Amino acid sequence: MSQSDIETLRTQPVAVFDHLIDGQSVPASDGQRMTVISPLDGRPLTSCARGTIADADAAITAARRAFDDGRWSGLAPAARKKVLLKWADLIEAQALDLAVLGVRENGTEIGMALKAEPLSAAATLRYYAEAIDKLPGEIAPTDPAFLGLVHREPVGVVAAIVPWNFPLMIGAWKFAPALAAGCTMVLKPAETASLTLLRVAQLAVEAGMPPGVFNVVTGAGSVVGARLAESMDVDVLVFTGSGATGRRLLEAAARSNLKRVYLELGGKSPNIIFADAPDLDEAAKVSAQGIFRNSGQVCIAGSRILVERSIHAAFVEKLAAQAAEIRVGDPLDSQTQAGAVNSERQLRQNLEFVAEARAAGRTVIGGARLREETGGYYMAPAIIADAQPDDRVFRDEVFGPVVTVTAFDTEAEAVALANDTTFGLAAAVWTSNLSRAHRMVRKIRAGLVHVNTYGGSDLTVPLGGVKQSGNGHDKSLHAFDKYLDLKTAWVKL
């Protein structure tokens, strides 16, 4: 990745995009379009189709037909694998183009975008493509007069609604295992991050994906997303996003065909630093990365740091020094460490949290708007150094580069503070005490608990939440559980 290559791609005009339905590029049924605004400079970048109910229905119909006639589900796993692996190769070959396109649309710094988006999506496709022909059925250990067989079969049509922060990575966590399992899919991207998923869908066609197997419809969640949730022909709905939207999707599923709904709804993840942390400098550095990378727009971001009181002042000083060194700027500059906030609305929300903490008399380090002259949406990392448990910024998900630091005195208090949230997605513990580390892993209510690190878990382990962070799991072989039904054959011999 050279800066000159990036600069060349930066200046290229971006094509307009339409839906991909039944293997074809299709405009919105009423001709309406959405303008894509770049967070780099606040200017229009391109446009894509503003989907209608009719568009969503057309995609669902195509996916239903493709599933029912067996053009994909009826293939041998090895045949599906061949297409998915070719698709992964095409994504990898265009990785830089895809990364730059994504950065121009959602503001992630290019170094992270390249690795976390196209390269991650390609790796995820390969992981599930290679796994699908290695999942055996079962023979039940029952009465020898009978034969009990357990088959694994694709569930049918899957609808996926994915967020704007890492659309390719999170999208691939859903479409790769679903398609590998033999399902067909309709995917709805976020309004502010649709372009890379539309381009990747075109590459699926190039790879030999049969028409109707993978469809992408863009548009408002209140229209396209709602239609997917209420459809009688969608068998499973998977979603990453806000809790309010997740509730509406569950209600729609209950009103329609009781489709299974799997939700990942974000978090307010505690990052706990004990006085016996093996390396306080490393803890401060990794903690800064764990909240400030991608301008804090990460589902598992360690946004609540809990620090043992005896080291609180020292840790805040080290964390502030790390934050000050983070280079916030043009996300297409390879030296940038934190890019743009996704939208003006998100930036305003971030700044409101900081202003509220400052008005309450809290010690606030950083948190100003930056580079306003560019027209883009940039923000300095913000540290609320003495946040209290009843502060809104301590309790609510900001989804921006804002972290609270709160002191505790005992292990029991640390556990209580960590669990004092409606969320339960991720957490971390920094300690040299092995027994304490295991106790904390057991006591903290979260789907992922790091020990002496933060972030970076790979595809081999599941990611999912508890409490209001959702249900079901992305990543690992456990992801197949959402997309494969168990069918028993009971045979008298």
Spatial distance between the Cα atoms of 8 and 100, rounded to a whole number of angstroms: 10
Spatial distance between the Cα atoms of 456 and 370, rounded to a whole number of angstroms: 28
Judge whether 344 counts as a catalytic residue: no
pTM: 0.96
| Domains 3-265+470-492 and 270-458 in one fold | no
Spatial distance between the Cα atoms of 383 and 187, rounded to a whole number of angstroms: 37
Spatial distance between the Cα atoms of 42 and 343, rounded to a whole number of angstroms: 8
Spatial distance between the Cα atoms of 377 and 354, rounded to a whole number of angstroms: 16
Q: Classify domain 3-265+470-492 by CATH number.
A: 3.40.605.10
Question: What are the sequence ranges of the domains in the chain?
Answer: 3-265+470-492, 270-458
CB-neighbour burial class of residue 334 (10 A; exposed 0-12, middle 13-18, buried 19+): middle
**Secondary structure of 55-89 in HEC code, one letter for each residue:** HHHHHHHHHHHHHHCCCCCCCCHHHHHHHHHHHHH
Spatial distance between the Cα atoms of 441 and 3, rounded to a whole number of angstroms: 42
Q: Classify domain 270-458 by CATH number.
A: 3.40.309.10
Q: Kindly give, in sequence order, each residue whose CB lies less than 8 Å from that of residue 107, ignoring residues fewer than 6 positions away.
A: 38, 39, 40, 295, 331, 339, 340, 341, 342, 376, 377
Which candidate in 105, 109, 230, 264 is catalytic?
A: 264
pLDDT (tens, 9 = 90+) of the chain, 493 residues, equals 789 999 999 999 999 999 999 999 999 999 999 999 999 999 999 999 999 999 999 999 999 999 999 999 999 999 999 999 999 999 999 999 999 999 999 999 999 999 999 999 999 999 999 999 999 999 999 999 999 999 999 999 999 999 999 999 999 999 999 999 999 999 999 999 999 999 999 999 999 999 999 999 999 999 999 999 999 999 999 999 999 999 999 999 999 999 999 999 989 999 999 999 999 999 999 999 999 999 999 999 999 999 999 999 999 999 999 999 999 999 999 999 999 999 999 999 999 999 999 999 999 999 999 999 999 999 999 999 999 999 999 999 999 999 999 999 999 999 999 999 999 999 999 999 999 999 999 999 999 999 999 998 999 999 999 999 999 999 999 999 999 999 999 999 9
Spatial distance between the Cα atoms of 260 and 254, rounded to a whole number of angstroms: 9
Q: Which residue has the tokens 């396109």?
A: 101
CB 45 within 8 A of CB 14: yes
Q: What is the full DSSP assignment across 330-369?
A: -TTSTT-SB---S-HHHHHHHHHHHHHHHHTT--EEE--E
Among 405, 237, 243, 396, smallest CA distance to 317 is for 405
**Secondary structure of 245-297 in HEC code, one letter for each residue:** HHHHHHHHHHHCCCCEEEEECCCCCEEEECCCCCCHHHHHHHHHHHHHHHHHC
